A and B are shown apart, each in its own frame.
Chain A
Amino acid sequence: MISACTDRGDLVILQLMTKCRQIFDAAWIRRATNRIAQQVLELNGGAGGLVMVGLHTHGVSIARRLAAAVKQLEGSEVPVGTMDITLYRDDVGMRPGGPHLPAPEGTDIPFDITGKTVILVDDVLNTGRSIRAALDELVDLGRPEKIQLVGLIDRGGRQLPIRPDFIGRKVTIDDDEKIVVHLGGPEGTDEVVVTGKESGA
């Protein structure tokens, strides 16, 4: 329920229902994205052939910020696409009693990714299942030269052999805690919070 609430940016309800502590503030997010942008450019020898694909919802914002940082550093435009991996999930109809499927946001990648280096961007890396789905969708959409993975936060807990190329920070939290990234939320605040054990939700 927590992530469902926060996906809608519904911070107020979230805070009422759960204990929640900030672990990173806006300044950290800014520094982390700038650093990741630099690392991406360094590893790839510049912005040539780069495209960004952000995963709905927060991966999209981070991808846009990375593209802006690249432009500031190199002066070149990196195209940004958005991806909703809902259609590539491996659990359609397999969640008894759980929340049913939301309407997908849709994938919008208005450029050809064949031969490109795709920088795949997500906010929080965890089991790796979303990334598996995203990789499947990317190879269905074209034949990229390379795919590199960015995660703002890596909370571990991988269930698949997937490894990020760039991360903001590795964070260890309890299993029943969740990490939620707010970017331009209802109060316009950027922050990363850990939400505690659910209290009666």
Chain B
Amino acid sequence: MNWTRRHLLGLEDLSAEEINVILDTAESFREVSTRKKKKVPTLTGKVVVMMFVEPSTRTLTSFSLAARRLSADVVSFARGGSSILKGETLLDTAKNIQALGIDVIVLRHPAPGTPHLLARNLDASIVNAGDGSHEHPTQGLLDIFTIRDKKKQIEGLTVAIVGDIKYSRVARSNIWGLKKLGARVVVVAPATLIPPGIEELGVEVCYDLDKIIPECDVINILRIQLERQKSGLFPSIREYTKVFGLNAERLAHAKEGLLIMHPGPMNRGIEITPEVADGPHSVVLDQVTNGLAVRMAVLYLVSGARG
């Protein structure tokens, strides 16, 4: 099939077929990064703006490198805090940037739905690089790409997502993508971090990590934000680590070939022990490498759909 979307706002909107187009495209982009000259001229003359209203060194680096490998001109526009504090609205800022002749805006923003706001009001292609607790589609895609790469297919796999489901955009993007491709998804977290109605997305809820581990083909461990404990969502870091932290002992009953993923940055010793993070099941660094190919694919596809 041909790709026709100008924006990538989330995985909720995509069909399984479209997700596969991105993954297949990413597959062919992986080769570019193995060349001596790690660059192709695909997006020569195109301008990609990295608009990171919420800081994120990793995602920014990955997207910037992806755009540069496609020969796009890359402009970074990072600013902390919400736009209103500076007296200019996000929309005004974005319109100003667009007036410079921009083709693609990669937006990271703490408020959910901001990519939609820009997509509604601007001509540029919008790529969501994480909007609050809503979605982080390229992270979801690179996780799924990594699973597909190791397991050859997604259908029929059991994937557990462990941690701060309530506030996690990574969890949401993974859930949409994995469900569309036929996986069984189980979310594991304290009840206070399970958002209402999550079952209606087709996932199972489990409060017992040990019970679910033997069934898992993949465990995706989310970073636990320490401020959640301060806002009273669980009693203490120590308790969280004891009840929901992944350690070698727990993995004794894991399937052979279990994949352990983490979107980073890791709180080593809290949600995951160093031993597991660096252990044989871990594909954490593959995720980072694959992220580059996935983001190249996304930039390429949305640019190609601009007419």
* Bitwise interface map of B from 58 to 74 toward A, beta carbon under 8 Å scored 1, else 0: 00000000000010000
A161 within 8 Å of B by Cβ?
no
Contact flags B278-307 to A (C-beta < 8 A → 1, else 0): 000000000000000000010011011111
CB-nearest residue of chain B to A133 = B41
Q: Is A188 an interface residue (CB 8 A)?
A: no
Interface segment out of the listed A22-30, A72-80, A98-106, A162-170: A98-106
The reply to whether A108 and B306 form a contact with Cβ atoms under 8 Å apart is no
Asked if B307 and A105 sit within 8 Å, CB to CB, the answer is no
* Partner among A94, A100, A136 whose Cβ is within 8 Å of the Cβ of B2: A100
Say if the beta carbon of B94 comes within 8 Å of chain A: no
> Are A92 and B4 neighbours in the complex by a CB distance under 8 Å?
no
Task: State whether the Cβ of B151 lies closer than 8 Å to any Cβ in chain A.
Answer: no
Q: Establish whether residues A140 and B4, one from each chain, have CB atoms under 8 Å apart when the complex forms.
A: no
Closest to B25 in A: A103
Verify if A89 is at the interface (C-beta below 8 Å from B): yes
Q: Are B25 and A87 in contact (CB under 8 A)?
A: no
Partner of B46, one of A93, A98, A107: A93
Most interface-central of A87, A95, A105 (chain B CB within 10 A): A87
**Chain A residues in 8 Å Cβ range of B32:** 87
Say yes or no for B21: interface residue by CB 8 A criterion. Answer: yes
Contact between B40 and A93, CB atoms less than 8 A apart: no
A87 to B40, CA, bound (A): 6
Cβ-neighbour of A103 out of B3, B39, B103 (below 8 A):
B3
A200 sits at the interface (CB 8 A) = no
List 16 extra interface pairs beyond A93-B103, A96-B307, CB under 8 A: A87-B40, A92-B303, A92-B304, A93-B303, A94-B307, A100-B304, A100-B305, A101-B300, A102-B2, A103-B28, A104-B25, A104-B29, A106-B29, A106-B31, A136-B41, A137-B40
Q: How many residues of A contact B (CB 8 A)?
A: 27
Interface 1/0 per residue, A104-143 and B, CB below 8 Å: 1111100000000000000000000000000011001110
B86 sits at the interface (CB 8 A): no
Query: Are A141 and B37 in contact, CB atoms less than 8 angstroms apart?
Result: yes
Nearest Cβ in chain B — how far from A166, in angstroms? Answer: 27
**How many Å lie between the Cα of A81 and that of B103 in the bound state?**
34
Contact B304 A101 (CB under 8 A): yes
Hey, which chain B residues are within 8 Å of A95, CB to CB? 307
Residue of B nearest to A136 (CB): B41
Distance to closest chain A CB from B39 (angstroms): 7
CA distance A108 to B34 in the complex (A): 11
- Within B35-61, the residues touching A (CB, 8 Å) are 35-37, 39-43, 46
User: Chain A residues with Cβ under 8 A from B301's Cβ?
Assistant: 101
Cα–Cα, bound, A163→B293 (Å): 35
Instruction: Output the nearest chain A residue to B307 by Cβ-Cβ distance.
Output: A96
Are B35's CB and A101's CB within 8 A?
A: no
A98 vs B40: C-alpha distance when bound (angstroms) = 23
Report which residue of A104, A105, A141 has the largest number of chain B beta carbons within 10 angstroms of its beta carbon: A104
**A99 to B2, Cβ gap below 8 A?**
yes
Cβ contact within 8 Å between B307 and A97: yes
List of 7 A-B pairs having minimum Cβ-Cβ separation, nearest first: A106-B28, A101-B304, A96-B307, A87-B40, A93-B306, A103-B25, A87-B42
Q: Which residue of A lies closest to B301 (CB)?
A: A101
- With an 8 A cutoff between CB atoms, is A154 at the interface? no
List of A residues within 8 angstroms of B199 by Cβ? none
B306 / chain A contacts, CB cutoff of 8 Å: 93
Per a CB cutoff under 8 Å, which of A94, A98, A108 touches B31?
A108
Q: Are A107 and B304 in contact (CB under 8 A)?
A: no
Could you say which residues of chain A place their CB within 8 Å of the CB of B4? 100
In this complex, what residue of B is CB-closest to A101? B304
**Chain A neighbourhood of B35, CB < 8 A:** 140-141
Query: Can you list 24 pairs linking A and B with CB atoms under 8 Å apart?
Result: A86-B42, A88-B42, A92-B42, A93-B46, A93-B103, A93-B303, A93-B304, A93-B305, A94-B307, A96-B307, A97-B307, A99-B2, A101-B2, A101-B301, A101-B305, A102-B2, A103-B21, A103-B24, A104-B25, A106-B31, A107-B31, A108-B31, A140-B37, A142-B36
